[in-house]
Amino acid sequence: MSQDNTSQGPLDNTQPQTLDELFSRDPLDLSSVDLEKIVGELRRQRDKWAETEHALQTKPKERAKTTKLNPTELAKLQAQLFGKTLP
């Protein structure tokens, strides 16, 4: 069996790796490295959000599809809506 030499020591496995794990810890117990991880992840998320918002704002808006009625068709439709009959 070969051992993985990438590990620095037995405490490496106890370090939280995710933002949720860091947030679940007591803030007074966070090290400067932990705080740097939190700040870095929050900045990454903010940048991703800003890119998404910018893409949505610059996306061309689709125009509503409308049908234009000629004056006769419009008058017939108005008559139907208001209960009047037209010839």
pLDDT in tens, 38-49: 999 999 999 999
Would you list the domain boundaries of the chain?
Answer: 15-60
pLDDT at site 1: 43
pLDDT in tens, 22-77: 888 899 999 999 999 999 999 999 999 999 999 888 877 777 777 777 888 888 88
Report the chain's terminal Cα–Cα distance, integer Å: 95
- Most distant pair of Cα atoms in the chain: their distance: 95
Q: Which residue type does 74 have?
A: L
Cβ neighbours of residue 11 under 8 Å, at least 6 residues apart? none
